[in-house]
Amino acid sequence: MSAQPPPGIRISDADRERAAGRLQQALAEGRITFDELEERLAAVYAARYAADLLPPFADLPGGTGVPVAPAPAEPSGRPLVLRTGIGTLRRAGPWTVPSRIRVQSIMGSVVLDFSETSVPPTVDVQLELGAGSARLLLPDGATADVDGVVSGMGNVRSRVGSRRVPGRPHFHVHGRTAMGSVAVRHRFRFAGFRF
């Protein structure tokens, strides 16, 4: 039995959001009704391939669907490897942030503060934690996907958006933690101080 060819290019959440925005614009222009908007939005959010975006736009100006954004380039180059046993490892202020970082901690704590330095468009952070902890402080507006972190008895918390936003840094956080904790957030502001 021969394998079927793939039905086309898979689309991203950002592609679906762009398509939904175009439909909402069509509603604002009076081209479609509210009921038609709901029906077409359902098709857009159910779409998996670029071809699935064609029917909701077939009778609208430029009805060729929505251009699909190319996949972002994967980070390349050798990773910066940061290791600690039972001590504390901290990077803050202006420091050179590569596109790939590997963090290894047995029982120590790791704090990576990206809020006061320039970062690449995409940063890949691989965690290998025993009973240690890792805290990532991201720049304002940055997003992070932490779904790739596998936790044994530890916990993983993220207080930032996971969906990539064009023009803003995105962190791909993955790896393992046995008993340690992982926290991803922006710096808090209070009374003019950031912490």
State the pTM of this model: 0.60
Q: What is the pLDDT of residue 66?
A: 58
Domain boundaries, the chain: 13-57, 80-194
**Cα–Cα–Cα angle for 21, 26, 29, rounded to 5 degrees:** 125
Q: What is the pLDDT of residue 136?
A: 96
Higher model confidence: residue 34 or residue 72? 34
105-125: per-residue pLDDT in tens?
Answer: 989 899 999 999 999 999 999
Which residue from 112, 61, 72 is spatially nearest to 88, judged by alpha carbons? 112
Q: What is the pLDDT of residue 172?
A: 94
Q: What is the pLDDT of residue 164?
A: 87
Q: What is the pLDDT of residue 26?
A: 84
> Cα(90)–Cα(177) distance, rounded to whole angstroms?
18
Q: What is the pLDDT of residue 9?
A: 78
183 has a pLDDT exceeding 90: yes
129-158: per-residue pLDDT in tens?
Answer: 988 899 999 999 999 999 888 888 888 999
Structure tokens at 76: 């390349």
> Cα(52)–Cα(193) distance, rounded to whole angstroms?
48
Q: What is the pLDDT of residue 8?
A: 72
- Contact at 8 Å (CB) between 146 and 123? no
Q: 126 φ, ψ to 5°?
A: -105, 125
1 has a pLDDT exceeding 60: no
* Residue 133 β-bridge partners: 109
Residue 50 DSSP label: G
Q: What is the pLDDT of residue 153?
A: 83
Pairing mode of beta strands 143-151, 100-105 = unpaired
166 has a pLDDT exceeding 80: yes
Name the average pLDDT for the chain: 84
